[in-house]
């Protein structure tokens, strides 16, 4: 994706979003930027040490999902999700397969299609990335006052009625990462 593509996406989003939502998004962006940098890039360091490209990292995290499913992906579907070409995603998946973080196998229903699945090693790396992020968040939240933490907890609790967020939380809680 080119910088001009990113700028176009940002400009389109700014037109389609209500001012109140833009303000909330700006505040969330400030918080997440702070959180992303708070641990001095430890999560990025783990990715760098793994030797994964950004596309491989994104694919691996998507393949890892919530850890509750053995869902297989087609390379074309992964490419579409991340807005990259199929050949680019295919090369990324080849790298994951060579590192034994994913497998690529023939679809039992259509031999022309290859299914990509995460391996146990891939799941371990995803869990490491989640744990590193969790540790950074814990370090940050330990700097909050009790009142700030209560307000943050209340805000986050209000989002737990969203199935996608609640499902992720339950998975993380069950894996010991939350």
Of 63, 114, 65, 105, the C-alpha closest to 86 is 114
Residue 2, SS3 per DSSP: coil
Of 99, 78, 177, the C-alpha closest to 134 is 177
pLDDT > 90? residue 65 = no
pLDDT > 70? residue 157 = yes
11-25, 83-97, 162-176 — which one is most confidently predicted on average? 83-97
Average pLDDT, integer, range 119-140: 91
Q: What is the pTM of this model?
A: 0.77
Q: pLDDT tens digits for 86-116?
A: 999 999 999 999 999 999 998 888 888 889 9
Alpha carbons 155 and 144: distance in angstroms, whole number: 15
pLDDT: is 174 or 27 the higher one? Answer: 27
Average pLDDT, integer, range 124-133: 90
pLDDT of residue 68: 47
């Amino acid at each position: 994706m080119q910088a001009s593509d990113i700028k176009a996406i940002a400009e389109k989003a700014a037109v389609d979003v209500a001012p109140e939502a833009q303000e909330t998004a700006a505040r969330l962006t400030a918080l997440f930027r702070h959180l992303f940098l708070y641990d001095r890039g430890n999560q990025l360091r783990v990715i760098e040490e793994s030797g994964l490209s950004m596309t491989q990292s994104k694919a691996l995290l998507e393949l890892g999902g919530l850890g509750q499913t053995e869902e297989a992906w087609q390379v074309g579907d992964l490419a579409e999700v991340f807005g990259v070409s199929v050949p680019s995603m295919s090369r990324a998946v080849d790298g994951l397969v060579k590192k034994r973080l994913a497998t690529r196998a023939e679809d039992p229903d259509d031999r022309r299609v290859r299914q990509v699945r995460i391996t146990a090693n891939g799941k371990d790396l995803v869990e490491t990335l989640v744990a590193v992020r969790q540790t950074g968040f814990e370090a940050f939240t330990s700097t909050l006052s009790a009142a700030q933490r209560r307000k943050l907890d209340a805000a986050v609790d209000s989002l737990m009625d969203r199935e996608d967020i609640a499902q992720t939380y339950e998975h993380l809680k069950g894996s010991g990462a939350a």
